[in-house]
Amino acid sequence: MPLADKASAWLAARSFRQRLVLSFAVGTVAGLGQAPFDLPLVSVLGFAALIGLLMQVGTARRGFWLGMWGGAGYFTVSLHWIVEPFFVDPVRHGWMAPFAIALMSFGLALFWALAAGLAVRLAKPGWPRALAWAVLMTVAELARASVLTGFPWAHPGHIWIDTALLPLASLVGPHGLTLYTTFMAAVLAALVIQRSRVALGVPLVHVAMIGLALAMPPAPLPAADAAVVRLVQPNAAQHLKWQPEMIPIFFERAINLTAALPQIEDRPPAMVIWPETSLAALLNQSEDWRAVISDAAGPVPVILGAQRLEGVTARNSLALLDETGAISAIYDKHHLVPFGEYVPLGDLMAQAGIRGLAAALQTGYRPGVGPTVLDLGDLGDAFLMICYEAIFPSYIRQVDRPDWMIHITNDAWFGQFSGPYQHLALARLRAAEQGIPVIRAANTGVSGAIDARGRVVSHLPLGVAGALDVVLPPPLPPTVYARFGDLPVYLVILATFLGLVLAHRRNRH
């Protein structure tokens, strides 16, 4: 008996509850494609196995629940770092951690459940259902990226970030990579189930895509006189960062790193960048602190992250200090982290004692006006991102094309395992999509320079204190994704749906 028939017979003998457990298990396998595991082909096999389970059900309701449990397994593995912020203050918040991961995993899995249920409802087993799932999953991920402020983290397409396929993001963007992932899984599942030798061609298609990515022009090299930027990584542990006795220690550490000798011979830094919320004082009340920073930096501007008050409104801000320490520009983070930097229905929640975990100011933050490009003179125009904003691919398309991107973040909240590496991976993806380099300063790491193809050219490791002088990489010309966004993905989705509809009508006649 062929292996596919044996698997089908074995599944047929399982109860539906057992299949739900199996769906959760194959979802966890699919989650292994995300950083730091970085096992993309294993992930594709997990998705293909999930499709195989969907082939065995005859009702949309059962498809819905298989999708729900498969998605929950995937997000439990890929987003398990979500518990880390609750253990910064475990006495107060530790009890929330298991509820957070459960609610996050099953909440996000709802998108997958709807996709799976619709695939079963609209398409018969075999090729039609597999392709319907691939398209509907991509639609579900598009929705997840925007519904309720959006959470475009751990998309299936992100499994290719640390592979040779990353340059393809400049053509199809993150959702195009997701569509490629789901199509690969769908084709593999359908061919195996139908015992087609054509399944052996799936790896060849993947090799061809790698060849296409490798054939794309590499990122340009910096000019001999390209500017040098210093990144400061103070490595302030989150549970110690705001302790009164530790504030001067971390500040002195950052000052010493700022004032250190140049690391590149005869090329002193033209700018110094500190991470998000790296200034303990409110920006409005930081004149003495800024004077010390300016003295350490010398005759160059400094970018740093700090909290500030605008009347009674709190902001998570990025400030540009000139050579004297005066504030010459301010950018306020405009996409805040729900339940981290603000709480929906905040006044009501505050009465129940629920406040944003990441907002040191008890009122929580209010958003800024929107995406911003900062004119830095000889250093060019820089697109600004604070922490969470780097996970969104569309904001940079709302402004004039910059020369580079600045990403300041405090990833101490994310622990020391998967969260910081996934956040770094998303910054790499932003660079590859647009063909624009990213310069990244992270409190605990990973700080570094990312070139226009998404390659990390130099970095400071996670969990160490240090300064890093990086040569500013040049950008590429505008990419296909920069020009057209997700339009090609929408067209492929539409064409696939039309093809499925026509095939369904032809079969009826």
Q: State residue 427's pLDDT score.
A: 99
- Cα–Cα distance between 163 and 207 in angstroms, integer? 12
Q: From the candidates 84, 333, 341, 433, which is the catalytic residue?
A: 333
Q: Place 10 in a pLDDT band, splitting at 50, 70 and 90.
A: confident
The answer to whether residue 387 is catalytic is yes
**What is the C-alpha separation between 90 and 75, in angstroms, rounded?**
23
Ordered DSSP codes for 418-436: HHHHHHHHHHHHHHHHHT-
Active site residue 276: yes
Q: Residue 166 in contact with residue 213, Cβ under 8 Å?
A: yes
3-class state of residue 315 by DSSP? strand
In percent, the amount of the chain with pLDDT more than 70 equals: 94
Spatial separation of the C-alpha atoms in residues 462 and 438, rounded to whole Å: 18
Average confidence (pLDDT) over 289-302: 97
- Cα separation, 332 vs 385, in Å, equals 10
pLDDT, tens only, 206-249: 999 999 999 999 999 999 999 999 999 999 999 999 999 999 99
Contact call for residues 303 and 273 (beta carbons, < 8 A): yes
Which entry of 141, 276, 341, 433 is annotated as an active-site residue?
276
Q: What is the pLDDT of residue 356?
A: 55
Whole-number Å distance between alpha carbons of 454 and 296: 32
Q: Which residues of 245-270 are buried (b: 16+ CB within 10 A; e: fewer)?
A: eebeebbebbbebbeeeeeeeeeebb
Lateral strand order in the sheet of 381-386: 373-375, 381-386, 404-409, 438-442, 447-450, 456-460
Active site residue 241: no
Residue type for position 431: A
Q: What angle do CA 51, 55, 58 make, to 5 degrees?
A: 135
Q: State the pLDDT at residue 200.
A: 74
Please say whether the beta carbons of 420 and 410 come within 8 A. no
pLDDT in tens, 410-449: 999 999 999 999 999 999 999 999 999 999 999 999 999 9
pLDDT (0 to 100) of residue 475: 98
Quick one: pLDDT at residue 349?
52
Pick the range with the lowest mean pLDDT from 130-139, 165-174, 282-291, 338-347.
338-347
Distances (CA, A) of 228 to 113, 271, 436, 474: 48, 7, 17, 12
Residue 214 has a pLDDT of 96
Report the chain's mean pLDDT, rounded to a whole number.
93
| pLDDT > 90 in the chain, percent | 83
pLDDT at 9 over 90: no
pLDDT at 347: 54
Peptide bond into 446 cis (omega under 30): yes
Residues 301-317 have a mean pLDDT of 95
For the chain, the straight-line distance linking the first and the last C-alpha, in angstroms and rounded, comes to: 34
pLDDT the model gives residue 3: 61
Q: Which of 341, 357, 374, 370 lies closest to 273, judged by CA?
A: 374
Distance from C-alpha of 115 to C-alpha of 108, rounded to nearest angstrom: 12
Q: 271: pLDDT confidence band, cut at 50, 70 and 90?
A: very high
Residue of 36, 53, 67 lying closest to 144 (CA atoms)? 67
For residue 193, name the pLDDT band (cuts at 50, 70, 90).
confident
Structure confidence at residue 218 (pLDDT)? 96
DSSP 102-168: HHHHHHHHHHHHHHHHHHHHHS-TTHHHHHHHHHHHHHHHHHHTTGGG----S-GGGGGTTSTTGGG
Domains of the chain plus CATH, in order, are 3-217+487-508 (no CATH), 228-475 (3.60.110.10)
pLDDT beyond 70 at 86 = yes
Q: Which of 141, 387, 389, 433 is catalytic?
A: 387
